[in-house]
Each structure stands twice: as C-alpha cells, then as structure tokens.
Amino acid sequence: MQTERWKISVGGIVQGVGFRPFVYRLAGDRALTGFVTNTPEGVVIEAEGQPSQLRNFLDALRKEAPPLSQVGEIVAGPISLLHDNDFVLRHSTVFGPVSTLISPDVAVCQDCLVEFFNPVDRRFRYPFINCTNCGPRYTIVLRIPYDRPHTTMRDFVMCPACRREYDNPSNRRFHAQPNCCPDCGPQLGLVAVDGQRVAEREEAISEVVRRLANGEIVAVKGIGGFHLAVDAANGQAVSRLRRRKKREAKPLAVMVAGLETARKLCRLETMEEQALESQARPIVLATKKEDHGLAEEVAPGYDQFGLMLPYAPLHYLLLQGPVRALVMTSGNRSEEPICIENREAEERLAEIADCFLVHDRGIHLPCDDSVIALQGGMVRQVRRSRGFAPKPLELAGTGEMVLGVGAELKNTVCLLKGKQAFVSQHIGDLKNLEAYRVFQKSIDQLASLFEINPSLIVHDLHPQYLSSRWAEEQKTVPTLAVQHHHAHLVACLAENHHEGPAIGIILDGTGYGPDQTIWGGEMLVGDGSGYRRFGGLESLPLPGGDAAVQAPWRTAVSYLFAAYGENAPELPFMADHDCGMIRSMVRKKLNSPLTSSCGRLFDAVAAMIGGRQVIQYEAQAAIELMQTAEGLGEEVFPCEVYEENDMLKISVRSLIREVAQAVQTGMVQGEISRRFHAGLVAVFTRVAEEARRREKINTVVLSGGVFQNRLLLEGLLASLDRVGFEVLLHKELPCNDGCISLGQAVIGRESLKKG
C-alpha cells in the first residue's frame, strides 16, 4: 500500500501533561516516522506510514491520551512525503502565543506514591514528588508558555539526575516542569509562632505529627494555600481552633488517609467514593455515621461531614501518625481568602496556629479546596476550585471574547474565548480586601494564560458591588449590567448546551432587581437574549436588611405581621425578642427593603417553629430546618397564587399562616418542615405548569443557592418530571453564585451578536 504523510494538529490540554512522549510512543508502536512538536496552535505532529496505521494512530491519540490531558479538536490532512528515518520529539522553537491549555492541579499519582513509599527510591518520603501525570499546575504558573522558568519552580536548578529524567522522552518525568528531588528541590521547615525555625525536612514532619497528636493547631502549606490542621477526634483542640478562627459552628472539612477510614465516618454511595478518589480530590459532603468517633465540634448540628483524601504527598505523611482524621480547614481568618505566602501566613494566622509547616515552593494563585455533593442522582459542585479550575467548560456556540466579573459573594470570574468558558477558582466575598485583590489577580492571570482580550465586561446590575465598580473603572472596555437571576438562568442553559427559552425557577438569598427591590424567589422566562419576570414569591419587608439575614427571628416577625396585620398570633419564639421594635420598623417603612428572597422565607419558617433564631453561618437556619424533615410526606401546606401587575405571585403570607397555625396546634417541627417543603414543591410545580400553558415552553431550569437544599431539589425535580417537564440542572458549576460569572458572560456575548 502507498505510504502517506499526515499533518495532525491537536488542541486542548496537551501541554505539560506528558502528551508529546505519549505521541512518540504511539508513533514508535506503529512504525511511523516524522516528528511531534509544540506550536502556538497546540501540538503539531507530522507522521508518515501506512494509511491504516495512520488512522489507527489518530484514533489512539484521542482514546489513549494521558490522564491529565484533555484532547480538544484534532485536525489531520495529507501533505507531501519527506521519507524521514525515524520519529523525533522536536523542541519547540517558536516562542509566542500558545493556545494550549494549563491543566488544573492534580493529586499525586499512583506511580509517584509507589516511589514515595519505597525506602530505596531517591524520592522516598519527599513531599514534592511529582511527574507529568500529577502535581501542581494552575497554582504555580506565572505565565505562558508553560515552561519551568515561567513557574514558581524557576529558582530551583535541577540536579543531573532530575535533568536526565526531564530530558528523556521515555521517562515519566519528561518535561515535567515541577520535577525535583531532595537534592535540588523545595524543602519543608517548621516555624514556631515567634518566627524561629525549629525543625527541617524529616524532622519537621515527625515534630508536626507529634504536635498534632498533642492537639496543637498546625498551619500547613499545601497546593492552593495553607490549611489549619488539628486532630478531628480531639474536641478541645477543635474548639480551640473554632474560637481562634472565630468560626463558631460552620462545619469543618476532614481529611483521612483512604476510603477505608472514610467509610467508618460516613455512609458512602459509590459515586461519592469515586469522587473522593478522583484526581481533583474535592471535599465530598456525605452523611455521617452514628458511631463516627470524631469530635462533635467538627460539624455540630449538621448531618454530614465534608470528607477528603490526601492530595499533596505531604498529606500522606501527616496521616501516618496516631491521628487518623485531621480537620483541614482553609488557612484564613473567617471569610478572608486562603493564605499562600509563608510570611503572610505567619502574620495573618499568628493568633490561630501553634506552629507553621512551611516550604519554599511558591504558590502563585490561591485555590481553595473544591466542595461537591451527591444531589439529584449526580455529583454536583458546591464550590468549584482546586482540581477543577481553570479547566474550561465547552459551550455550544462561539462568539466574541467576553469577561463576566460575577456576583459579590461566592465570586468567580469567567472569560469566554471561542467555544470555551474559563471560570476561575472560587474567590469568595469581595467585600473583603484580600479577596478583592485575588479577584483582580485572577482576571489578569486567566486573561494572560489563555490570551483573552475581552471586548465587553459584564457585571451585576447592583451598582455598589465591588465587581460592578471594578468593571466600570475599566475605561477602555465597554460594559453591560445584567440582572442576577437572569445570569443564574442563562448559566444553567449554557452548561446544558440549551438555547432556551426556558422557565427559570431561580431560588436564592439576594439579587438586585431592576425595580430596586431585593429579588430571590423568581420565576423567569427567558434565554441569553432577555427575560421576563413571570412570577415568583411575593415581596415582603426585611426589617434591618442585612441585620435580618443574621437574625431570622426578625424576618419571622415581619412576615407574621405581613400575614396577619395587627392581629398576628403570639408564637412561643416571640417571647425572647423585641417584636414591637420590628413591627414599628415595618410600619414606618424604616430600613425595611422589600424582598422576594427564598432564603429569607426559609429563615422565617425556621425561626417561627422554634428553630435557629440567630445564625452563625450562611444558610444555617435553612439547613437545620431541612434536616428536621427527614424526607417529604404526602401532606402539604397549601399556598395561594394570585395575579398582580402581570405576574403570578406566590403568596408567602398564606404559607406563613399555615405554619403559624401548625405551631399553635402543637405540630412537631419535623412535620411542619415536611409540609412546608412539600408545599413549595407543589406550588412551584403548579406555577411552572401555568407558565408552560401560557408560554408554550416545556423546559425548566433550576438554579440559585437554595437548591443546595437536597430535599427541595430532589422533590421539585421529581415533581416536575412527573408532569412531563424537561428539567435542566447545573452540571459543572455550583447552583449558587459561583455560576453567575458564566451567565453574565454568555448574556454579554448574545448582546454583541444583536449589535
């Protein structure tokens, strides 16, 4: 048969992930000649041989690609023969824009772990062991192209042994940019609170293991930042961490050595186990077992643990001592971003940690642990960060480059380029100055790594959000303001490659409405090009605004007042509060903005039935309310619906009256919660059916942070399914405000198409 020569270009994540050596091996196996090289457009291959072998080669490029790569578009075509003698790896000669992608950080691989635990290996117990299949990436890259001088490893000169591995195409460490060993790479050190270095290397580890067993709080530098580590079975130690971190009750993540221990703490479904062991190593929210044996203080009043398995080699060493489960919480003061610099950690965490386990491999960008949960039959993101960012989401369509700067809380940013959406790691609450700096740095980093020059910046409609203000300060690029819940709707559509229009049931805490009230229990009809507010929860006064968010009892009093007027019944919870003050604020319309928030409705019901009166962390009242229900029953609280200003309003007041009557008749909390949840499921299904009848749309999108409530999500999903709706849920981004930046960017892109 005639020999042919093909030119093949491969896009996607194919740089720094062992792709070229893989190509080299494939070509050798098939007796092809030619070369492979990195170019600005990605990996380019010229291969010569039998057409059947070439086809087979092309097939294998995609099917057998190395674990960290993500093969995108492959373009292949015949060119003239050159009759080379062999197949070679060509060093990249072209320097310039590289459109190949930077991979997320990846947990240490099996091959490296085998070496790590092998006493005769030269990297035995060396905490910075890595190879082309594993290790840090996104957090150590300074700029492109992804080469060692462009990473935080630039100051470490490889020893001859490491260099040989790095240069050898058949070695697992060929062109592994962070490659190093105990002779040439970063090292650990233990620093006391007074700044003194007290131990180095192996000695630092054994000292930390000893201190952890003694209940000390150790700040540990990891991949995306510092953790605060403490023995999870030691209640006093965990309480001390909570006190010092000013984190009273919010659940703390727990790290255990492997699945065997994880199974002793939680009841795990197969999908949860797979997620725990996946390369991204997220925190997995899973149901506690009764006899878990950890301190109550780890996750008080919460029926789940946030579990994770080790992902940095160092973590394995920490868990080799007597401590079987470590609290591993972000190294920050509450609400600040995670610390990444040694000096910064020693300062900011000085009042929290008893000592600091540091190292000298720099972290360029902070990246928190990701959090996922099994909901509605799939593993879903709660916080998408380390291990996932900056892996792009594939979009259905293409268009101009656009930047979405996200909401204010749970901020992420998103840059669109071609068919790809680059969503940043979780950045957090922008009101915090440190977080605001990370926000700016992340935009710069993503724009330069992926060479994106946005022609439009999209921000939230709320003019006071720091992200909105930042957008308006970028004088050279036009801006667009987008309504919060519209962004939720479109983010979910985009993730599902659905053009819309759809009926959006968007339930969350807060989003600024164009009528200048606070929206949050919305039913929208729309798509990327626009929306209409079809209906939703009616708006009621929120006495004190943010003060009510912290104190659900205030909302409860206000909603009761709205439901009954002056004749509101006296419920037991009111005895402890100054209800007169709230009523008079509402009556005089003093600092009592109107809200249709769904989060506040949950708060009000929780407080009314004697649940959480003042919260210690976001959504605490709602979570506890959900937990008391233990499933949905047949009975529902009926909820009235009425038409007003061309909208179908769901009467919050009718629900509040049902709850109040139930409390008066002595119904138990669990039963009230069940009927309340079931009532919401029923009424949202009913209004969705009415929207379908009027608008002739059969697709429903569920988005907004309230859908982290698994009872509501799964109940509504089943109910909408039963009446024949196509229901779309988030797949790769969280349903909370972490998805807003994507929705904004997609809406922005649509607006440019209209011109």
Length of the chain: 755
- CA–CA separation, 678 and 568 (whole Å): 24
Choose from Zn ion, Fe ion, none: what does 181 bind? Cβ within 5-8 Å by kind: Zn ion
73 vs 546, beta carbon nearer Fe ion = 546
184 vs 271, beta carbon nearer Zn ion = 184
* Residue 162 token pair: 């490491």
Closest CA to 333 of 321, 322, 345: 345
Binding region for Zn ion (CB under 5 A) out of 180-188, 566-574, 594-602, 738-746: 180-188
402 vs 506, beta carbon nearer Fe ion = 506
Choose from Zn ion, Fe ion, none: what does 184 bind? Cβ within 5-8 Å by kind: Zn ion
- CA–CA separation, 253 and 251 (whole Å): 7
13 vs 579, beta carbon nearer Zn ion = 13
126 vs 637, beta carbon nearer Zn ion = 126
Burial pattern 94-131, b for ≥16 Cβ within 10 A else e, equals eeeebbbbbbbbbbbbeebbebbeeeeeebebbbbbbb
Choose from Zn ion, Fe ion, none: what does 134 bind? Cβ within 5-8 Å by kind: Zn ion
313 vs 509, beta carbon nearer Fe ion = 509
Measured from the CB of residue 510, what is the shortest distance to Fe ion in angstroms? Answer: 7
522 vs 624, beta carbon nearer Fe ion = 522
337 vs 738, beta carbon nearer Fe ion = 738
127 sits in which H/E element = none
Answer for which of 159, 594, 667, 752 binds Zn ion (CB under 5 A) is 159
Residue 122 to residues 115, 126, 206, 268, 313: CA-CA distances in angstroms? 8, 8, 19, 37, 15
Choose from Fe ion, Zn ion, none: what does 109 bind? Cβ within 5-8 Å by kind: Zn ion
| Range 311-370, binding Zn ion (CB under 5 A) | none
Binding region for Zn ion (CB under 5 A) out of 153-161, 314-322, 649-657, 743-751: 153-161
For residue 36, give the 3-state DSSP assignment: strand
Binding region for Zn ion (CB under 5 A) out of 44-52, 126-134, 359-367, 558-566: 126-134
Choose from Zn ion, Fe ion, none: what does 508 bind? Cβ within 5-8 Å by kind: Fe ion
Examine residue 133 and tell whether it contacts Zn ion (CB under 5 A): yes
- Other beta carbons within 10 angstroms of residue 589's beta carbon come to 11
Measured from the CB of residue 200, what is the shortest distance to Zn ion in angstroms? Answer: 18
Examine residue 179 and tell whether it contacts Zn ion (CB under 5 A): no
Binding region for Zn ion (CB under 5 A) out of 57-65, 108-116, 314-322, 539-547: 108-116
Choose from Fe ion, Zn ion, none: what does 131 bind? Cβ within 5-8 Å by kind: Zn ion
358 vs 461, beta carbon nearer Fe ion = 461
DSSP summary character for residue 368:
P
Answer for which of 43, 106, 134, 286 binds Zn ion (CB under 5 A) is 134
Choose from Zn ion, Fe ion, none: what does 346 bind? Cβ within 5-8 Å by kind: none
Backbone phi, psi, residue 555, to 5°: -65, -40
Residue nearest to Fe ion (CB): 508
DSSP summary character for residue 135:
B
- CA–CA separation, 223 and 81 (whole Å): 47
Sign of the Cα pseudo-torsion (277, 21, 135, 137, in order): negative
Measured from the CB of residue 179, what is the shortest distance to Zn ion in angstroms? Answer: 8
Residue 234 to residues 145, 254, 357, 491, 495: CA-CA distances in angstroms? 46, 13, 20, 42, 42
Measured from the CB of residue 544, what is the shortest distance to Fe ion in angstroms? Answer: 21
Measured from the CB of residue 17, what is the shortest distance to Zn ion in angstroms? Answer: 11
Omega cis (within 30) before 501: yes
Answer for which of 27, 45, 65, 131 binds Zn ion (CB under 5 A) is 131
Choose from Zn ion, Fe ion, none: what does 737 bind? Cβ within 5-8 Å by kind: Fe ion
354 vs 508, beta carbon nearer Fe ion = 508
Each residue 182-221 as x (binds Zn ion by CB under 5 A) or -, in order, gives -xx-------------------------------------
**Exposed, middle or buried, 405 (CB in 10 Å: 0-12/13-18/19+)?**
buried
- CA–CA separation, 717 and 238 (whole Å): 38
162 vs 560, beta carbon nearer Zn ion = 162
Examine residue 109 and tell whether it contacts Zn ion (CB under 5 A): yes
Give how many residues touch Zn ion by CB under 5 A: 10
Measured from the CB of residue 737, what is the shortest distance to Fe ion in angstroms? Answer: 4
| Range 455-474, binding Zn ion (CB under 5 A) | none
- CA–CA separation, 310 and 277 (whole Å): 9
Choose from Zn ion, Fe ion, none: what does 147 bind? Cβ within 5-8 Å by kind: none
Residues sharing a CB contact under 8 Å with residue 614, sequence separation 6 or more, in sequence order:
550, 551, 552, 553
Measured from the CB of residue 521, what is the shortest distance to Fe ion in angstroms? Answer: 11
- How many Cα atoms are found within 13 Å in the side-chain-facing hemisphere of 698? 6
Choose from Fe ion, Zn ion, none: what does 183 bind? Cβ within 5-8 Å by kind: Zn ion
Examine residue 682 and tell whether it contacts Zn ion (CB under 5 A): no
Closest CA to 135 of 328, 281, 337, 319: 281
* Residue 745 token pair: 């960017």
Examine residue 393 and tell whether it contacts Zn ion (CB under 5 A): no
Choose from Fe ion, Zn ion, none: what does 635 bind? Cβ within 5-8 Å by kind: none
Closest CA to 505 of 245, 323, 683, 274: 683
488 vs 674, beta carbon nearer Fe ion = 488
Contact 128, 222 (CB under 8 A): no
DSSP codes joined into one string, 689-735: HHHHHHH---EEEEESGGGG-HHHHHHHHHHHHHTT-EEE--SSS-S
Measured from the CB of residue 409, what is the shortest distance to Fe ion in angstroms? Answer: 8
Answer for which of 106, 140, 153, 162 binds Zn ion (CB under 5 A) is 162
Residues at the contact surface with Fe ion, assessed by CB under 5 A = 508, 737
Choose from Zn ion, Fe ion, none: what does 706 bind? Cβ within 5-8 Å by kind: none
Q: What radius of gyration do the chain's Cα atoms show?
A: 28
Q: Angle, nearest 10°, between helix axes 19-29 and 51-63?
A: 150
Residues that bind Zn ion (CB under 5 A): 109, 112, 131, 133-134, 159, 162, 181, 183-184
